């Protein structure tokens, strides 16, 4: 029995330019083992093949593992996602430039043979072979994304172009981690996916908001123009272990201050609202969205509709941490949205997904995690 050459494992194979031997091999073996639909269709047409076809890694193995790329995989959400996918048995390639992420976040995963970590900036093209891409690379907290706003926009826009280009070459499915920030300071409440948003295009948050909006545009244009298989998730405020302790986001700031006994810094009068989703719930939603049939492209809101004011949150965190911190009031940042609450009707209906972890329980886990960073 002939063996398929090892060096082709995981690479593109151009049948039009392939050697006669390889063509024979591919006609013998590929239809048996390949699930790649392009090839199946083309093979049925008597091998009138002119385009590249993909040879999945480990094709000879009985069980086909999915090869999944997670960009921004060493960050808060990315590291939890990588953990879930590795545990499920997929081959996970995590890429990150470590701007806000950390190797520590994925250190435990490095012991698994089905996990790989690569330093890479999504603003540069990437040549790897995968079946699915979760595009999470982008700083998410206001102080981080405003630190180098030009780089933030580049990460969203050039990063999306590079990852969409990769997905197009591979025929891979690609999911974009979009954000509730695309709704800006919303005039519709709660926010439904058909709301176009209210974003200041020239303010300090615009590098993130408009970058993410442009990324969504690119995803939908690749879908319309190139029939790419896309999924767009609009993620609302998410929290949990592995958030950066100094990222300036409200939950990490309040918990760190409460644990240290420092004043809790409420911006404005604290009447602005957010709706906080625990990380485990969110990751479940992302994976469910990726697993849906091709026609389901989103955008789809993922978040916890349990809305709370920033002042109420401060009180709850002080109580949960058993802290004596006092609340102090500071000016509200420019363009800080006044209210935010996801309408998750679509997620419930199409993904059969809704958050299950209460704020009380999620905060307890998160506070325990942050105790190690107190000093
Ligand atoms: P995070 O900052 O912890 O993670 C982002 C990761 O991307 C980091 O590891 C960072 O080093 C990496 N990164 C940044 N620029 C990069 C680049 N140019 N190339 C490669 N890697 C790069 O933030 P997070 O909270 O985990 O957010 C992950 C994604 O989810 C982001 O795209 C964010 O916009 C989106 N999101 C998060 C939330 C939230 O509440 N956490 C809400 C809405 C959307
Ligand atoms: N916020 C606050 N004190 C802080 C950090 C944030 O009052 O120390 C407020 C902030 O002004 C905003 C809300 O908490 O109204 C959520 O801020 P965060 O940066 O976490 O998320 P985003 O504004 O991006 O939703």
SS3 letters for 327-350? EEEECCCCCCCCCCCECCHHHHHH
- Half-sphere exposure (Cβ direction) of 159: Cα atoms closer than 13 Å: 33
Query: How much is the pLDDT for 64?
Result: 73
Residue 215 CB burial class (10 angstroms; 0-12, 13-18, ≥19): buried
Residue-wise pLDDT for 347-365, tens only, equals 999 999 999 999 999 999 9
| 3-state class (DSSP) for residue 48 | coil
Residue-wise pLDDT for 191-208, tens only, equals 999 999 999 999 999 999
CB 250 within 8 A of CB 310: yes
CA distance 23 to 16: 9
Residue 203 Cα to chain centre, angstroms:
25
Query: What's the rounded mean pLDDT across residues 210-217?
Result: 98
Per mean pLDDT, which range of 5-14, 255-264, 276-285, 294-303 is the poorest? 5-14
CA distance 152 to 283: 23
Query: What's the rounded mean pLDDT across residues 160-177?
Result: 98
Helix 37-44 to helix 20-33 angle, to the nearest 10 degrees?
Answer: 110
Residue-wise pLDDT for 104-135, tens only, equals 999 999 999 999 999 999 999 999 999 999 99
Ligand 1 centroid – CA 362 distance (Å): 20
Ligand 2 centroid – CA 250 distance (Å): 4
Residues of the chain with pLDDT > 70: what percent? 83
Ligand 1 centroid – CA 342 distance (Å): 20
CA distance 168 to 173: 9
Residues of the chain with pLDDT > 90: what percent? 82
CA distance 28 to 73: 38
First and final C-alpha spacing in the chain:
64
Query: What's the rounded mean pLDDT across residues 324-332?
Result: 98
The CATH code for residues 67-371 is 3.40.50.720
Query: How much is the pLDDT for 209?
Result: 98
Q: Atom 44 of ligand 1 has which residue's CA nearest to it?
A: 179
Ligand 1 centroid – CA 5 distance (Å): 39
Query: How much is the pLDDT for 231?
Result: 98
Ligand nearest to the CA of 117: 1
> Does ligand 1 have an atom closer than 6 angstroms to the CB of 155?
yes
Residue-wise pLDDT for 148-166, tens only, equals 999 999 999 999 999 999 9
Asked if pLDDT for residue 2 goes beyond 70, the answer is no
The pick from 79, 121, 123, 137 for probing ligand 1's pocket by mutation, whose C-beta has the most ligand atoms within 8 angstroms, reads 137
Query: What's the rounded mean pLDDT across residues 21-26?
Result: 34
Query: How much is the pLDDT for 14?
Result: 36
pTM assigned to the model: 0.87
Using alpha carbons, list the distances in angstroms from residue 45 to 16, 49, 171, 228: 14, 8, 20, 23
Reported as a pLDDT band with limits 50, 70 and 90, residue 373 is confident
- Please give the backbone phi and psi of residue 159, each rounded to the nearest 5 degrees, phi first: -60, -45
The pick from 207, 260, 274 for probing ligand 2's pocket by mutation, whose C-beta has the most ligand atoms within 8 angstroms, reads 274
Token couple for 92: 């996970």
Q: Atom 37 of ligand 1 has which residue's CA nearest to it?
A: 140
The pick from 238, 310, 312, 314 for probing ligand 2's pocket by mutation, whose C-beta has the most ligand atoms within 8 angstroms, reads 310
Query: How much is the pLDDT for 138?
Result: 98
Per mean pLDDT, which range of 35-39, 179-183, 363-367 is the poorest? 35-39
Active-site hit among 208, 222, 239, 278:
208
CB 211 within 8 A of CB 179: no
Q: What does the domain layout of the chain look like in residue ranges?
A: 6-54, 67-371
> Does ligand 2 have an atom closer than 6 angstroms to the CB of 173?
no
Task: Specify whether 208 is catalytic.
Answer: yes
Ligand nearest to the CA of 138: 1
Query: How much is the pLDDT for 10?
Result: 35
Residue-wise pLDDT for 65-99, tens only, equals 899 999 999 999 999 999 999 999 999 999 999 99
Asked if pLDDT for residue 51 goes beyond 50, the answer is no
């Amino acid at each position: 029995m002939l063996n398929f050459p090892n060096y082709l494992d995981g690479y593109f194979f151009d049948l039009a330019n392939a050697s006669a031997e390889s063509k024979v091999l591919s006609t013998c073996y590929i239809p048996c083992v390949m699930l790649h639909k392009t090839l199946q269709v083309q093979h049925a047409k008597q091998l009138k093949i002119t385009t590249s076809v993909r040879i999945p890694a480990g094709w000879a193995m009985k069980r086909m593992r999915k090869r999944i790329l997670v960009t921004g995989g060493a960050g808060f959400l990315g590291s939890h996602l990588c953990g879930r996918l590795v545990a499920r048995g997929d081959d996970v390639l995590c890429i990150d430039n470590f701007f806000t992420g950390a190797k520590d976040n994925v250190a435990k995963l490095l012991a698994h043979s089905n996990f790989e970590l690569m330093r890479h900036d999504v603003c540069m093209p990437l040549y790897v072979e995968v079946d699915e891409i979760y595009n999470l690379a982008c700083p998410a907290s206001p102080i981080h994304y405003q630190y180098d706003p030009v780089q933030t926009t580049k990460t969203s826009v050039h990063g999306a172009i590079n990852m969409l280009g990769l997905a197009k070459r591979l025929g891979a499915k690609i999911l974009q981690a979009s954000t509730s920030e695309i709704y800006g300071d919303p005039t519709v409440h709660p926010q439904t996916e058909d709301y176009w948003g209210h974003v200041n295009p020239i303010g300090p948050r615009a590098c993130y908001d408009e970058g993410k909006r442009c990324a969504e545009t690119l995803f939908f244009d690749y879908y319309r123009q190139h029939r790419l298989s896309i999924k767009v998730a609009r993620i609302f405020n998410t929290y949990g272990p592995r958030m950066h302790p100094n990222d300036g986001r409200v939950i990490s700031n309040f918990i760190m201050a409460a644990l240290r006994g420092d004043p809790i810094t409420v911006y404005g009068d604290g009447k602005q609202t957010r709706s906080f989703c625990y990380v485990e719930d969110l990751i479940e939603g992302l994976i469910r969205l990726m697993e849906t049939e091709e026609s389901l492209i989103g955008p789809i809101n993922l978040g916890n509709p349990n809305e709370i004011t920033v002042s109420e949150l401060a009180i709850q965190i002080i109580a949960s941490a058993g802290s004596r911190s006092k609340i102090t009031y500071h000016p509200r940042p420019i363009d800080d949205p006044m209210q935010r609450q996801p309408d998750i009707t679509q997620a419930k209906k199409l993904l059969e997904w809704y958050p299950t972890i209460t704020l009380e329980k999620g905060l307890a886990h998160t506070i325990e995690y942050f105790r190690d960073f107190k000093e």
